[in-house]
């Protein structure tokens, strides 16, 4: 058994730590929605070092009062997951705010999604990719107007954050401890 544990320990691949960023902005009726409040930010003290035990709110979030940058810690999260973590909802033709306001296509207004410079179908189930730039807009502006006048305001600084330390994810120079790796090798559960 000890020999098996040693072989597994040596052959065990390192933990895959997902940590990348995207930019975005949410506009309603021609005004940017302010999402800089504490209720929209992940607590930087909430450090999740084991990707197998990460909670939903830690998979995709914003923090430190910066609502331009989305922090991704799980490879399968979508833009809908982000909005859900912020207390919002999104579907095919509707957006539901954390204040209980329903914005639905009609009366000359519509949801428009501009992703990486292209008008795209709804993004609620689209996986957030490294370096994505999303403009989510509800209002009467045409897609052409949004492309020309709003999308350039979506920041493009996500790559600068990819190389940095993310305090809410314990990412950066973090290495898996010997004890945590040993527990994984012999299938003991528990945090690291």
Whether the CB-CB separation of 60 and 168 falls below 8 Å is answered with: no
Residue 190: per-residue pLDDT: 46
**Is 192 a residue whose pLDDT tops 60?**
no
What the block records as the tokens of 50 is 């084991």
> Strand 60-61 relative to strand 94-96: parallel, antiparallel, unpaired?
unpaired
Which of 169, 104, 164 has its CA nearest to residue 138? 104
User: Who wins on pLDDT, 37 or 176?
Assistant: 37
pLDDT tens digits for range 17-55: 788 999 999 999 999 999 999 999 987 655 555 555 566
Task: Please say whether the dihedral angle defined by the alpha carbons of residues 171, 174, 180 and 182, taken in this order, is positive or negative.
Answer: positive
Tell me the CB-side half-sphere exposure of residue 84, using CA atoms within 13 A: 14
Distance CA 79, CA 120 (A): 13
**Is 168 a residue whose pLDDT tops 90?**
no
**Which segments within the chain are labelled E, that is strand?**
20-28, 31-32, 60-61, 69-72, 89-90, 94-96, 102-104, 110-115, 118-120, 133-139
DSSP per-residue string spanning 27-42: EETTEE----SGGGBP
Considering the chain, what percentage of its residues have pLDDT values greater than 70? 77
Which of 111, 120, 131, 115 has its CA nearest to residue 27? 111
CB count, 10 Å around CB of 7?
A: 11
pLDDT tens digits for range 111-135: 999 999 999 999 999 999 999 999 9
């Amino acid at each position: 058994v000890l020999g098996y544990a040693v072989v597994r320990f040596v052959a065990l691949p390192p933990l895959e730590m997902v940590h990348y960023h995207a930019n975005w902005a949410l506009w309603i009726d021609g005004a940017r929605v302010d999402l800089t409040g504490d209720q929209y930010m992940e607590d930087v003290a909430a450090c999740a070092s084991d990707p197998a035990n990460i909670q939903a709110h830690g998979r995709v979030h914003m923090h430190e009062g910066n609502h331009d940058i989305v922090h991704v810690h799980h490879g399968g999260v979508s833009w809908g997951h982000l909005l859900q973590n912020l207390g919002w909802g999104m579907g095919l033709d509707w957006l539901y705010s954390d204040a209980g306001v329903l914005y639905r296509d009609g009366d000359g207004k519509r949801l428009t999604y501009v992703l990486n410079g292209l008008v795209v179908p709804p993004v609620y189930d689209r996986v957030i990719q490294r370096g994505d730039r999303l403009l989510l807009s509800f209002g009467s502006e045409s897609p052409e107007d949004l492309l020309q006048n709003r999308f350039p305001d979506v920041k493009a600084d996500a790559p600068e954050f990819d190389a940095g330390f993310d305090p809410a994810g314990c990412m950066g120079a973090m290495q898996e401890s010997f004890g945590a790796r040993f527990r994984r090798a012999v299938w003991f559960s528990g945090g690291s």
